[in-house]
Amino acid sequence: MRCDLGFALGLAGLLALGAAPAGAGELHTERSLYRNIVVYEEDGLRCMKFGRQATGRQTCMSLAERNRLVFDYTRMMMGALYLNPAPRRVLIIGLGGGSLPGALQRVLPDATIDAVEVDPAVVRVAAKYFGFVSGRQTGVFEEDGRVFVKRMQKRGVRYDLVLLDAFDHEYIPEHLLTREFLLEVRGLLSAGGVLAANTFASSRLYHFESATYFSAFGDFYRLKQSNRVILVRLGGLPDRDELARNARIVEDRLAPLGVGSAWLLPLFEVEAGWPPGTRVLTDQYSPSNLLNGSN
């Protein structure tokens, strides 16, 4: 399955995470239960990737400006605040080096943040090499993201903002791509709650993901550079005027991250145009079944 999925996504999709340079100076290598973790520095960046031969970087931090977001996709994920500029409770699935929870800690100092990461080794590396710090307002949960979602559902927990950013060395784990999972996440959102999801901008799964998100949430915004970020809000998407008003509310707080509305607002487009009859990804009809031609 992994080989088929990786081949189908293609090199262009892998590069969306950021091509890892050859011969990078390694600071740390570790074989965890889930993956090989490599931390290295080059060209003023400290980065994490999964495996020495991996073509994608999971996290990069500027050594000169540690608070600035390096990747376009992390800056686009901040666009979720244009849909709701004041979330009180936030869930992030997928930690990496802690770029997203760290950024939101600074932008939303009063918010409660739950960060979920399946690999305890990644949590340790994020703290030691990328300066990620949990605290009174930020909890870190070492478990599978879908298991966590189901557990919070049973407890009746609600989030104003959910960010999906869980990747292995190839792509998003299959069980976090299906309609059933998205409906479980939807069940965690408060009234007017916002979901932001990091996906690839180019892969054979692109239209299937679009159809799947639409089946769970209806219309959604997409922001597209080397990655695609999907943004949804329960109760309907804000129009351009509301986006602009919310952007002004958070402009000064996002500026230190390298995020500005002049760059971000023009990226907002309602996704449309996937082929009629595009299959929705489900727990039974998963990406591996799709790419293997199974019914």
Task: Give catalytic residue positions.
Answer: 165
Task: Compute the distance between CA of residue 174 and CA of residue 252 in angstroms, rounded to an integer.
Answer: 37
Given the DSSP bridges, would you call strands 227-233 and 221-224 parallel, antiparallel or unpaired?
Answer: antiparallel
Task: Compute the distance between CA of residue 270 and CA of residue 277 in angstroms, rounded to an integer.
Answer: 19
Please say whether the beta carbons of 179 and 216 come within 8 A.
yes
Please say whether the beta carbons of 8 and 290 come within 8 A.
no
Q: Which two tokens stand for residue 204?
A: 């054979």
Task: Compute the distance between CA of residue 52 and CA of residue 66 in angstroms, rounded to an integer.
Answer: 24
Helix then strand count (H, E) for the chain reads: 10, 12
Task: Compute the distance between CA of residue 273 and CA of residue 49 in angstroms, rounded to an integer.
Answer: 34
Task: Compute the distance between CA of residue 159 and CA of residue 94 in angstroms, rounded to an integer.
Answer: 16
